[in-house]
Amino acid sequence: MQENNRTASLVKTMKEQITADLAEAKTPEQVEQIRIKYLGKKGLVTNFAKNTDFAKLPPDEKKNFGQQLNDLKNFAAEKIQESADNAAKLDSAQNKHRRQIDLTVPLTAAFQRSGSAHPIAHVQSELETIFEGMGFCVLDSPECETEYGNFESVNIPADHPARDMQDTFWLQNEMVLRTHTSANQVRALKRFGAPFRGIFPGRCFRYESIDPSHENTFFQCEGLMVDKGISVANLIGVMKTLLGEIFKRDVLVRLRPGFFPFVEPGFELDLNCLFCGGKGCPACGDGWMELIPCGLVHPNVLRNADIDPNEYSGFAFGVGLTRLAMMKFGIRDIRYFNSGDVRVLEQFQPLV
C-alpha cells in the first residue's frame, strides 16, 4: 500500500512537471523538445518504470503500478499533442501574417521621412572634399591630448597668457580635452615631415558657460601647409578658394592682424558680409564677418617638429566648423548642435 502511495505521488509530480514545461513552450520546436524529454527513448516517462525500481515490487502491486504508468503515458501523450497542435496553429498564423505584408502598398507620410546628415557633418564633409581637391590629406586625431600636445608644442608655454583664453577640462591622468585642433600640427609634421598639406577636423572642448553663441563642445577644422617658399599669398589663395566653394560665389576677404602664439604673423580673416554685401547689417555689424584665424607657422612650431625654419615655411588656419554650419544653415543658437533633438536634422537645410 505504501508503494502505491509513493507511485501515485511520483506520477502526480511528473504530471505537474509536464504541465509546467508545456506552459512555457511557445513554438513547435520547443514542444518537440518536451516530447523528447518525456516520451523519447531516454525520456522520463518512457523510463519511469526503470527509474522507480518497478521490478522489485511485489506482484499484486505491480498491477496497480502498471495502471498508473499507463495513465501517465496517456496524460503525457495527450497534453503534448495538444500543445503541439496549438503551437503549429500559432506558427502558421504568424507565417500567414508575414506573407500578407504587401510591399507594393504606397508609403504613408510617416514612413517617407528620409534621414539627413547633421549640419556639422555636412559642412565637414564639404570641407574635406574641397581640400582633397587641393591636394590636402585629411587626418583623424585624438580628442584627449597631453599638456605638451595641446599647449607647449604649439608655442604656448605654461606661463603664457594665451592659456587663459583656452580654459579647459583636465582629466585625472593629467591629460586635457583638446581646446583646439591646432594641437595636431606638430604631431602631423613629425609623422609625415615636410612638405606637408593636411587638414584635421574634429571635436574640441572648452570650459565655457553655455549660451546661444558659446558651447563647451564644438567642432573645428585645422589646416596646415608647409613647404619651401610658402607666403601669405598662398594662404589667401587657399582661403579664397575654400570660401568660394563653400558659399558658391566669389568672395571678398580681408586680413587683420591677430595674435595666436603658433603663428607669426597672425591674422583674422574676415569675409565680406554675404547678407548685406558689406554695407553693414545685424548679422555682421560693420559689413565684415570674422571667420578664419590664420597665419604663417611660427618658427618654434616648425622646430618642435624637427623642421628647419630657414628651409621651410608654412601657413595654418583654424576654421570653426560649428560657426560655419551656423552661417550656412542659418542656425542662430549653437546649443541646437549637441541637443540630440532629431528636429534639428529635419528642420535645417543648407541656405547656400
In the complex, least distance from residue 337 CB atom to ligand DAH, rounded to whole angstroms: 17
Q: How far is CA 279 from CA 143, 156, 270, in A?
A: 40, 38, 14
In the complex, least distance from residue 318 CB atom to ligand DAH, rounded to whole angstroms: 3
Q: Are 301 and 279 in contact (CB under 8 A)?
A: no
Rank residues 25 and 239 by Cβ distance to ligand DAH and give the closer one. 239
In the complex, least distance from residue 330 CB atom to ligand DAH, rounded to whole angstroms: 24
Rank residues 117 and 165 by Cβ distance to ligand DAH and give the closer one. 165
List CB contacts of 251: < 8 A, sequence separation 6 or more: 240, 243, 244, 271, 272, 274
In the complex, least distance from residue 203 CB atom to ligand DAH, rounded to whole angstroms: 12
Rank residues 180 and 328 by Cβ distance to ligand DAH and give the closer one. 180
List CB contacts of 295: < 8 A, sequence separation 6 or more: 235, 258, 260, 262, 263, 264, 265, 266, 267, 315, 316, 317
Rank residues 126 and 222 by Cβ distance to ligand DAH and give the closer one. 222
By beta carbon distance, the residue nearest ligand DAH is 318
On the CB side of 329, CA atoms within 13 Å amount to 25
Rank residues 260 and 337 by Cβ distance to ligand DAH and give the closer one. 260
Binding site for ligand DAH (CB under 6 A): 180, 182, 222, 260, 263, 266, 293-295, 316-318
Q: Are 324 and 123 in contact (CB under 8 A)?
A: yes
In the complex, least distance from residue 258 CB atom to ligand DAH, rounded to whole angstroms: 7
The single-letter DSSP state of residue 161 is T
Rank residues 45 and 271 by Cβ distance to ligand DAH and give the closer one. 271
Rank residues 3 and 264 by Cβ distance to ligand DAH and give the closer one. 264
Q: To which H or E segment does residue 108 belong? A: none
List CB contacts of 291: < 8 A, sequence separation 6 or more: 243, 269, 270, 271, 319, 320, 323, 324
In the complex, least distance from residue 292 CB atom to ligand DAH, rounded to whole angstroms: 8
In the complex, least distance from residue 180 CB atom to ligand DAH, rounded to whole angstroms: 3
Q: How far is CA 150 from CA 175, 179, 181, 303, in A?
A: 9, 7, 8, 16
Helix axes 59-99, 28-39, angle to 10 degrees: 170
Quote the cell numbers at residue 312. Answer: 621651410
